[in-house]
Chains A and B, each alone.
Chain A
Amino acid sequence: MLHLTIPQDKIDSARGFAKQITHSLEELLNSYSSVTIERTVLRLLGIDGALEDGTPIPNYIVDQLKSKNALDKGVAYWISNAIVYTGLSAQEVANSVKDGKLELTQIAQQPTTEVIKVMNDLTQKMIDHIKQQRAARESYFAKYGPRNTPSLYVIVATGNIYEDVLQAKAAAKQGADIIAVIRSTAQSLLDYVPYGATTEGFGGTFATQENFRIMRKALDEVGAEINKYISLTNYASGLCMPEIAAMGAMERLDLMLNDAMYGILFRDINPQRTLLDQYFSRMINAVAGIEIQTGEDNYLTTSDAIEKAYTVTASQLINESFALLSGVSPEKMGIGHAFEIDPCIENSFSYELSHALLTKTLFPHSPIKYMPPTKHVTGNIFEAYIINAMFNMVAQMTGQGVQLLGMLTEAVHTPHLADRALAIDNAKYVFNAVKDFSSEITIDKEGFINKRAEAVLDEAISFLKRVAEQGLFNALEKGEFANIKRAQTSGKGFEGVFRKSEDYINPFMDKIKQELNLD
């Protein structure tokens, strides 16, 4: 059997430092909220829609409360108070605010027990809906059988949701297990989620609740045709992380890219904002049974994949530790890594095998997300096809959970129909060809592969130790991660972070914590 021999105390020590890093942030996570968390609460209360100019109603309400210095109580209170006063539904209250007929902070304080009751009823209603979606997913898997391992994950990215549907259906019929609708390239930096179905985007399609609904419906239809549940994924990242998580929970997405630190490092989003938003968004994913995926591949596309391999390991452990704080179970943590070593390097395959095995060894229960070669794939489609075959071989041999299929036309264009089909054929052939191969071979304890994995872990441990000693914010400020310096109070979205008042309420966070047995 293909497995590494790594001393357990090393693994424990790495985990210990990661825990020290994340647990030192509990004061932040418990005492602060953000505008997107409040907008998420509004969405979960059942409020949707947009103004004429495209501003989503959740943004409009949160901005208004912020301008009245009333946001620190939490939006749930204001909406519930208005519901008791007017007898309207949450959406009707929101519409009245939008139309200027209602001013939330001007409404007289209603009896607390009634306000709390309205709030709790609405919360329970949405949690029930999310749990129904979770049950629906589980019953589909029970009916059609579980997802393949490694799962075939392909992207659609035409910019037009209806064109995406066509491509997604074709991919499903060709054998894809998971469809990702890549977002329009600038969406992570939008501080609002666009409304409605969209037909224009750049390098992808906007994540909107209506687009989620359209794609979910299409995949359920194609699934019924081919007797298979097709999973759908999107990106709970950027400035609207928890809102997108909530939309995904409501519309039964199955996976979500949901990294704890990606936005800080690679999108220059404020560190506090990102950490708060990931905390709540991962709770939503946890209660919805949505598999989260982390973005460690980004460390390798910007740095050397051998030299910086330890940054992947360190980030994986930090991501895991944050996810545990939000109640995500290891079976639902798609810890990420990537096949990005320069193909010109001698024994590059051994390095890749070693790194992939290390991830599997550290996270044995995780449906590990394996990202394809991109950095060294430069337009030679024939070379790309063979490198992708090697990538697929490592995945099958090391038991990766989700295989993001490499495209032969990487760096040329967003995948064409035939590119995707060829990628699926490639993976199917390789997965089948080496299906049980690794059960018959062993790794030499003293050999290169084992030693290399241990060396990467050693480097990760000393890095994590250094970060734990100085604290995450100081480490970010000094550029310890990916050589990128990020200050605690700079970056996009910092103005949207606020300290909660004594009487702040987020009924969803409270309820989900209860559901997940978090304190």
Chain B
Amino acid sequence: MSTKIDKTFIRPYGDTMNDGRMQISFSMPVKADESGKEAARQLLKQMGLDEIEICYIADLSEGFAHIVAYGNTSAFVDLTKIQVKTVDTDVMTMEETDEFVEQHLGRKITIIGACIESDAHTVGIDAILNMKGYNHRYGLERYKWFNTVNMGAQVLSEDLLAKAREMNADAILVSQIVTQKNIHVKNLTRLIEMAEAEGLRDKMLFICGGPRINHDLAIELGYDAGFGAGSYSTDVASFIVTKLANK
């Protein structure tokens, strides 16, 4: 690698620093022939790419073609000006978290999880909550100092909040996997608005998770934290106990 990287001026890297080389794959209603390639080329040109190479075009039938292309972008980013909101609590192991709760909170923490509204996909909430866990990290059900309830799929917001009230929950975990037409945003908004109306919003932590969710979006929607793809039970558990201890 070259000795110096100018962090204020960064482009994609193909095989030479800042060459801006990118791969692009898409389909279009064009013929898989020279005219189709030219259409793709002109599109990529308008996107600001140079040195365009349409390396593959194939007929998808019904008048569509699949295109794979490479091109150089002249766009760049300044890494010194990047700001993202992330969950910034230190991540602890299950044992450390249990110890932390014992020392700093001294009582069992009640956590209620659900896939809310229309969402029927429990894979996310299960990965975080189930005893078994995911990728060598046990789920929250296994934590000694957690009292965890997994309400499963298609739980109505009102039912989740009723349960939270009944059990005097410390944290609510909501998973949203289906994101077609931004249904996840609608569902999450509905829950938080109901929680506010019922005066529950500030009584417990509201945390959401899912492949299209990040901390930024979660904060924007009025949640305490959001966990996207690649998050583990340990991230969520550490956040909950640290936040509760600081309250």
Residues of A within 8 A of B (CB): 159, 166, 169-170, 173-174, 184-186, 188-189, 202-203, 266-268, 301-304, 307, 342, 374-375, 378-379, 411-414, 416-418, 421-422, 484
Contact = CB atoms under 8 A, between A and B. Distances in A.
Contact of A186 (B64, B130, B154): B154
Contacts, number: 78
Nearest to A298: B122
A429 to B, nearest CB: 14
B21 to A, nearest CB: 17
15 contacts: A159-B180, A170-B64, A184-B118, A185-B119, A185-B120, A186-B118, A186-B154, A202-B180, A268-B152, A303-B130, A379-B211, A379-B229, A417-B27, A418-B25, A418-B60
Interface residues of B, number: 31
Looking at chain B's contact residues, is the secondary structure mostly helix, strand, loop, or mixed? loop
Given A174-B60, A267-B153, A414-B180, A302 B27 contact: no
Interface centre among A169, A268, A378, A421 (most CB of B within 10 A): A421
Contacts of A170: 60-62, 64
Tell me the interface secondary structure of chain A in the complex. loop
A364 B60 CA distance: 36
B154 A303 contact: no
Contacts of B122: 266, 302
B211 A302 contact: no
B181 interface: yes
Contacts of A203: 118, 178, 180, 183
Nearest to A412: B211
B130 A202 contact: no
B123 A417 contact: no
B25 A302 contact: no
B229 A174 contact: no
Contact of B123 (A189, A268, A302, A414): A302
A72 B121 CA distance: 36
B119, B122, B178: most-surrounded residue (chain A CB, <10 A): B178
Given A203-B178, A268-B152, A421-B66, A375 B61 contact: no
A303 B60 contact: no
Chain B CB count within 10 A is highest, among A302, A342, A375, for A302
B132 interface: yes
Contacts of B230: 378
A513 to B, nearest CB: 34
B58 interface: yes
Interface in B165-192: 178-181, 183
B178 A185 contact: yes
Nearest to A268: B152
Contacts of B132: 303-304, 307
A203 B179 CA distance: 8
Given A173-B61, A375-B123, A379-B211, A418 B26 contact: yes
A378 B211 CA distance: 8
Interface in B70-123: 117-123
A421 B58 contact: yes
A303 B64 CA distance: 40
B181 A202 contact: yes
Given A267-B154, A268-B152, A417 B211 contact: no
A185 B61 CA distance: 29
Contacts of A304: 132
Contacts of A375: 123
A378 B229 contact: yes
B126 interface: yes
Contacts of A422: 66
Nearest to B119: A185
Nearest to A425: B58
A302 B64 contact: no
Contact of A166 (B62, B120, B229): B62
Contacts of B27: 416-418
Nearest to A157: B180
A174 B229 CA distance: 32
